[in-house]
Amino acid sequence: MHPPLTLHRHPMCAEIIEQFQKCHLDHPIKKFFGECTDLKVKLDRCFREEKAVKRKANFEESKKLRARLQAYRKETAENP
């Protein structure tokens, strides 16, 4: 199962999403028998890569926020 295939939510995978959706439109019956499986595998890999990039960015952002919070706590502890 994959997340909703909206292009604005997955800009890194937009091209593969369009190919996958076109495959489903072009092969309404064969899609059930594996016609679009190769594109599905590519799409899954792209989603994993996209998630890894987002995870890394979120982790870096959290480190910055954690450092700011610790500095604020230290400042308030010194000046009650």
Structure tokens, 74: 């230290």
Say what the pLDDT of residue 60 is: 96
* Element of type H or E holding 34: none
User: Can you count the helices (H) and strands (E) in the chain?
Assistant: 2, 0
Say what the pLDDT of residue 40 is: 94
Say what the pLDDT of residue 12 is: 92
Say what the pLDDT of residue 2 is: 73
Give me the tens of pLDDT residue by residue for the chain, a chain 80 residues long. 677 888 888 999 999 999 999 999 999 999 899 999 999 999 999 999 999 999 999 999 999 999 999 999 998 888 76
User: Amino acid letter at 24?
Assistant: H
